[in-house]
């Protein structure tokens, strides 16, 4: 399965490294060497202090901070609706917007542990990070 | 603040249309501009300031330039602050400052849009990637309603807020709308009706969402010198505050909006207290938008919005804090997907004693009009105006 026909990210020089890492199965965050902020989404200068940020790799684990089960999105493929749109709070701190996949909407809840996984796109240098429940087994 | 010169809203006009397939958005701008000037009793050539935002059907263009040119305006002050639907509250606040600074005397603010004629359906979004943030949000199916739904979900989790409490907000809005002959939906709805309407973005239902309507509105803000020449009853602009909310680089708190800061600033600017407010126009893109604004503006504690809105609190004329007596965006009108202008206009009607009879708040002296534009849970702009009766 590829991400399309869902909309794909617009890759810019500032974000290319993030998307390429995702294509290699790694979730990157930015870390500020001056003030220590670990942040998301990627941007070259730290949004707290404007120092040049570094890239770090996230463990890709966290918990659901909030979510919505969306029943209608124009142009979305029917087999991909309903969609669980969520904010996941990573163990490193940042909350990021994403989808929760591989779970029935009724089984999802705030605080559930999740782990990143990646969906390929037609562009080999871009994959989309999404999250799936960590099985309690 | 040492800004003492009084400034007034002298004219206010809401277009009666809710569906306008056979016109242009620019024509609607002109019609509401003419209506607001007529209401004030001012000639067109008195206008020396102009504000508008969005004009989404002309997004390739330069918003203030195309509209000022179309409307034939020659102005010394222009502002197109873009906060989404709350832009027009910002425009009035900024216009008041420009007038106090002697830049201009008569500022026209217009809004118009036609999403209904363009067949936009509730809960539909845009696929374009315009900003950097879009590539990290919209690819997931994130839309306006999604973000408000996520705020509602977290609010329920942290504070025990219920879908029934959110539905009470729509019930109150629809109760007011039955008396508004122009409202898109005039039939009162019950809490059960809201809960039984189809899910759009869980936990929000169709009836938790504002209407999609064509139309527009305009106001005219004037100096003390101009007001003295007018016969029309004016409304004083007593205070204004604004604030921008965002994702805070991954530290977003979806249960709080920028209304906390815009409200603090507006109340400090006006020098009045919450319990003096007789009527509130609250931005109502969704029911949760109203509930969070009540908390963030300080009309109740954070987390107590749910119990606050139960019963008849928000119902005019006798509720503790009557809101959106025109039926609001939830039942009457959300022209161009932007509810800020109609919030100002209904507050002006209340203070002039010109609201619909059944919902006119007795002796309304102080009103608050609040806008939350853009999207809570991500980027949004809040503008809060405090308005007073002219003879206060
Ligand atoms: Zn920093």
Of the candidates A66, A98, A105, the beta carbon closest to that of B140 is on A98
Inter-chain CB proximity B252 and A87 less than 8 Å? yes
Reading the block at residue B269, the tokens are 């600017």
Integer angstrom CA distances of residue A118 from A64, A98, B15, B330: 17, 11, 49, 39
Among residues of chain B, what percentage have pLDDT more than 70?
A: 95
Distance CA(B328)–CA(B208), nearest Å, equals 12
B147 assigned to some structural domain: no
Inter-chain CB proximity A105 and B143 less than 8 Å? no
Q: Which CATH number belongs to the domain containing residue B329 in this structure?
A: 3.40.47.10
Residue B391's pLDDT is what?
86
B32 assigned to some structural domain: yes
Angle between helical axes of B340-352 and B87-100 (0-180°, round to 10): 60
Sketch the domain layout of chain A as residue ranges. 16-133
B133 assigned to some structural domain: no
Q: Which residues of chain B have pLDDT under 70?
A: 1-3, 56-61, 120-127
* Chain B CB contacts of A37 below 8 Å: 249
Integer angstrom CA distances of residue B99 from B107, B108, B123, B290, B343: 8, 12, 40, 31, 22
Inter-chain CB proximity B149 and A110 less than 8 Å? no
Inter-chain CB proximity A71 and B199 less than 8 Å? yes
Residue A73's pLDDT is what?
85
Residue A1 pLDDT class (50, 70, 90 cuts):
confident
CA atoms within 13 A on the CB side of B332: 27
Query: Tokens 């505050």 label which residue?
Result: B241
Cα torsion B29, B110, B294, B382: sign: positive
B118 Cβ neighbours under 8 A, 6+ residues apart:
none
- Whole-number Å distance, alpha carbon A43 to ligand 1 midpoint, is 11
B18 assigned to some structural domain: yes
Contact of B378 with chain A, judged by CB distance below 8 Å, is answered with yes
Of the candidates B124, B140, B151, the beta carbon closest to that of A74 is on B124
B351 assigned to some structural domain: yes
CA–chain centroid gap for A96, Å, is 6
Of the candidates B134, B138, B202, the beta carbon closest to that of A68 is on B202
Of the candidates A15, A38, A76, the beta carbon closest to that of B135 is on A15
- Whole-number Å distance, alpha carbon B248 to ligand 1 midpoint, is 13
Contact of B391 with chain A, judged by CB distance below 8 Å, is answered with no
Per-residue pLDDT reduced to its tens digit, B357-386: 999 999 999 999 999 999 999 999 999 999
Inter-chain CB proximity A98 and B202 less than 8 Å? no
Number of domains in chain B: 1
Task: Report the mean per-residue pLDDT for chain A.
Answer: 95
Residue B1's pLDDT is what?
43
B165 assigned to some structural domain: no
As to burial, measured by CB atoms within 10 angstroms (0-12 exposed, 13-18 middle, 19+ buried), residue A136 is exposed
Residue B60's pLDDT is what?
61
In angstroms, what separates the C-alpha of B61 from chain A's closest C-alpha? 23
Reference B14, options B214, B165, B161; nearest CA is B214
A-B Cβ pairs (cutoff 8 Å, strict): 128
Of the candidates B124, B142, B151, the beta carbon closest to that of A72 is on B124
Among residues of chain A, what percentage have pLDDT more than 70?
A: 99
Residue A77's pLDDT is what?
82
- Whole-number Å distance, alpha carbon A46 to ligand 1 midpoint, is 5
Distance CA(B151)–CA(B288), nearest Å, equals 8
B252 assigned to some structural domain: yes
Inter-chain CB proximity B132 and A75 less than 8 Å? no
Contact of B160 with chain A, judged by CB distance below 8 Å, is answered with no
Inter-chain CB proximity B141 and A86 less than 8 Å? no
Q: Is A12 helix (H, G, I), strand (E, B) or coil?
A: coil
Residues A8 and A17 sit within 8 Å (Cβ to Cβ): no
Of the candidates B146, B198, B378, the beta carbon closest to that of A68 is on B146
Residue B2's pLDDT is what?
45
In angstroms, what separates the C-alpha of B379 from chain A's closest C-alpha? 13
Residues in B 102-121 with any Cβ partner in A closer than 8 A: 121
* Chain B CB contacts of A69 below 8 Å: 199, 201-202
B270-308 in b/e form (b: 16+ CB < 10 A) is bebeeeebbbbbbbbbbbbbbbbbbbbbebbeeeebbbb
Residue B321's pLDDT is what?
98
Residue A135's pLDDT is what?
79
Q: Which domain holds residue B26?
A: 7-119+211-389
Residue B71's pLDDT is what?
97
B15 assigned to some structural domain: yes
Q: Is the pLDDT of residue A40 over 60?
A: yes
List the beta bridge partners of residue B371. B383
């Amino acid at each position: 399965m590829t991400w399309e026909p869902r909309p794909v990210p617009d890759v810019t020089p500032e974000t290319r490294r993030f998307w390429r890492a995702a294509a290699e199965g790694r979730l990157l965050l930015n870390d500020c060497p001056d003030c220590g902020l670990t942040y998301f989404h990627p941007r070259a200068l730290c949004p707290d202090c404007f120092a040049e940020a570094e890239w770090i790799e996230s463990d890709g684990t966290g918990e659901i901070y909030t979510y919505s089960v969306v029943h209608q999105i124009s142009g979305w493929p029917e087999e991909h609706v309903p969609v669980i749109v969520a904010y996941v709070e990573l163990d490193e701190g940042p909350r990021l917007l994403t989808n929760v996949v591989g779970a029935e909407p009724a089984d999802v809840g705030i605080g559930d542990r999740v782990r990143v996984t990646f969906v390929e796109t037609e562009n080999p240098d871009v994959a989309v990070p999404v999250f799936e429940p960590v099985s309690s087994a | 603040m040492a800004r003492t010169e009084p400034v007034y809203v002298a004219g206010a006009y809401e277009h009666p249309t809710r569906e306008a397939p056979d016109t242009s958005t620019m024509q609607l701008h002109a019609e509401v501009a003419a209506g607001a000037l007529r209401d004030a009793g001012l000639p067109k050539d008195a206008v020396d300031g102009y504000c508008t935002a969005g004009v989404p059907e002309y997004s390739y263009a330069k918003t203030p330039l195309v509209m000022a040119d179309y409307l034939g305006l020659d102005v010394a002050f222009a502002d197109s602050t873009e906060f989404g639907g709350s832009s027009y509250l910002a425009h009035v606040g900024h216009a008041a400052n420009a007038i106090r600074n002697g830049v201009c005397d008569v500022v026209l603010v217009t809004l118009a849009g036609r999403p209904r004629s363009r067949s936009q359906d509730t809960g539909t979004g845009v696929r374009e990637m315009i900003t950097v943030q879009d590539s990290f949000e919209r690819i997931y199916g994130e839309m306006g309603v999604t973000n408000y739904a996520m705020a509602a979900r977290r609010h329920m989790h942290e504070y025990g807020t219920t879908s029934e409490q959110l539905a009470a907000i729509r019930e109150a809005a629809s109760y007011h709308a039955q008396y508004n002959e122009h409202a898109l939906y005039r039939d009162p709805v019950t809490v059960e009706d809201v809960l039984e309407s189809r899910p759009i973005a869980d936990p929000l239902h169709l009836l938790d969402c504002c209407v999609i309507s064509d139309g527009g509105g305009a106001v005219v803000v004037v100096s003390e010198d101009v007001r003295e020449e007018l016969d029309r009853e004016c409304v004083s602009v007593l205070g204004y505050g604004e604030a921008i909310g965002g994702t805070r680089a991954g530290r977003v708190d979806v249960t709080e909006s920028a209304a906390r800061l815009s409200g603090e600033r507006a109340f400090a600017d006006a020098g009045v207290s919450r319990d003096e407010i007789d009527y509130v126009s609250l931005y109502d893109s969704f029911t949760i938008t109203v509930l969070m604004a009540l908390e963030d503006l300080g009309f109740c504690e954070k987390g107590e919005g749910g119990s606050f809105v139960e019963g008849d609190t928000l119902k005019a004329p006798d509720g503790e804090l009557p809101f959106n007596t025109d039926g609001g965006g939830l039942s009457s009108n959300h022209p161009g997907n932007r509810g800020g202008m109609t919030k100002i206009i209904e507050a002006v009607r209340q203070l002039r004693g010109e609201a619909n009879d059944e919902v006119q708040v007795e002796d309304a002296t102080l009103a608050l009009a609040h806008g939350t534009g853009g999207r809570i849970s991500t980027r949004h702009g809040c503008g809060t105006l405090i308005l007073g009766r002219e003879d206060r």
